[in-house]
Amino acid sequence: MEHRLRTPLTSEEVLLLRAGDIVWLSGTIYTARDKAHARLSSWRDLIPLEGAVIYHCGPLLSGGDVISAGPTTSGRMARYASQVVDLGVRAIIGKGGLPGAADCLRGRAVYLAYPGGCGASASGQLRVKGSFLSDLGMAESIWEMEADDLGPMVVAIDAHGRDLYEEVRTRAQERLKC
Amino acid sequence: MRREDVVEACVSALRRAETTLPPWVEDLIRSARDAEGDSLALSNLEAILENIQAAASRGLPLCQDTGLPVFHILLGRKADLDFSLEEALAEGVRRATLEVPLRPNAVDPLSRINSGDNTGPGMPALIVDLVDGRDLSITALPKGAGSENMSVIAMLNPVDDPLEFVVRAVAERGGNACPPLFVGVGLGGTFDGAAALSKRALLRMPGSSPLELELLERINSLGIGPMGLGGDTTALGVKVERACCHTASLPVAVNMQCWAHRMATSIVGEDGWSIA
């Protein structure tokens, strides 16, 4: 099933999404990766977090233009997933999944997979509106971006406890034993 | 040979590598798309092909992770160089960072301070071979962290099965490395030598020996699929580079490369430079 959504997201919208669905997203989103997550305690003072969407991305920008902006590996930020969702965030976008986070997303948030490496496509779907924690530099700052039909993204971990990555890894382990 | 030609050739190889893929890589992705039976996998492969198109038509880097600058240098034994090749290549990287542009990715490993121009101690990283002739060949192999972070090396017990280790590495780590993958395998040699061989294997993709094709089939039977979300296409190529090892050792290294196997080569001669 395909969904076209606009931020901020409501909990009703999030609960309608099922693992394997495709999402196109518009509205304000915020990039954050390793160093921005290390300063998680400052987020509440910087950005409106209720229903917010966080994008694991370190964009390549030039003169305020988005040159390339695909997802980074979310696994490095998995340890923060529970705190991020506690702040009101209802969707996390990235690649590779959030190992062990399906339980803390349950009933509250989803994980959306943007195709890894597809930074050129993403650059046509995103526009920079502002930035926070700018001392962290281009890749690590929080960038406020306007998304225009960002996608296609796969609902890879839904709010009902289903984690497609975990299912694929478990199946691969079984096939290894054969 | 003129220094400015080396700098220009370096910038051009980086620009070509970052914004386009070698045609044979795109052909492999297209063939995988045509053969893929899983609908989510198909959606990801279509998105990848659209991204390749978007990058080429707008001259943009395929991926925001423009990587660390790795170069394979073939230096003619009769080449006339009266300048530092390392410094000329570093200048090329600095210029490419501004002009392509590239994301500044090079940081100090302890302070994490970013040099801002993708150069610094050990960067660019050079793999150098001496060859016949007077020319200099510069192959840019920009390497992103998503795939490099999932690479792995082990000193196995000589009775262990190194091929099992390779397949297991992909099963456990491959989903994070932006599959469909190119899997470079360094087998044997010394500890550091195995890792170096696995990087060199990426320069000689895709493999076609019975051993390499068997590994490719075993990896694809795992069902990891594009982006780790399941499917028939987990790897597009496997290349194994071997060296003798100590009778008590069995080093094996797996250098993961994402679907964006970015590579481009410039040639510098006495009268100028060209890009293949």
SS3 B180: coil
Cβ contacts of residue B45 below 8 Å, gap of 6+? B29, B32, B33, B36, B180, B226, B233
- The phi-psi region of residue B244 (left if phi > 0; otherwise alpha if psi is between -120 and 50; otherwise beta) is beta
Q: Contacts of residue A117 in chain B, CB cutoff 8 Å?
A: 48, 51, 62-63, 144, 146, 178, 258-260
Give the phi and the psi of residue B144 in degrees, each rounded to 5: -80, 160
Q: B83 CA to chain A: closest CA distance, Å?
A: 32
Instruction: Let me know: does B114 contact B107? Beta carbons within 8 Å.
Output: yes
* Rounded Cα–Cα distance for residues B226 and B44 (Å): 6
Q: Which residue of B has its CA nearest to A71?
A: B64
What are the tens digits of pLDDT across the range B91-104? 999 999 999 999 99
Closest CA to B180 of B53, B32, B18, B38: B32
Residues of A designated as active site: 37
Q: What is the SS3 string spanning A22-65?
A: EEEEEEEEEECCHHHHHCHHHHHHHCCCCCCEEECCCCEEECCE
> pLDDT 10s digit of each residue in chain A, 178 long?
999 999 999 999 999 999 999 999 999 999 999 999 999 999 999 999 999 999 999 999 999 999 999 999 999 999 999 999 999 999 999 999 999 999 999 999 999 999 999 999 999 999 999 999 999 999 999 999 999 999 999 999 999 999 999 999 999 999 998 7
Q: B194 CA to chain A: closest CA distance, Å?
A: 24
Instruction: Let me know: does A147 contact A29? Beta carbons within 8 Å.
Output: yes
Q: Contacts of residue B144 in chain A, CB cutoff 8 Å?
A: 117
* Rounded Cα–Cα distance for residues A8 and A106 (Å): 18
* Rounded Cα–Cα distance for residues B160 and A73 (Å): 31
Global ipTM:
0.96
- Output the pTM of the full model: 0.96
In angstroms, the Cα distances linking B96 to B85, B115, B123, B141, B203 are 16, 14, 14, 14, 21
Cβ contacts of residue A174 below 8 Å, gap of 6+? none
What are the tens digits of pLDDT across the range B131-161? 999 999 999 999 999 999 999 999 999 999 9
Contact call for A119 and B63, based on CB within 8 A: yes
Which residue of B54, B144, B167 is in closest CB contact with A121?
A: B54
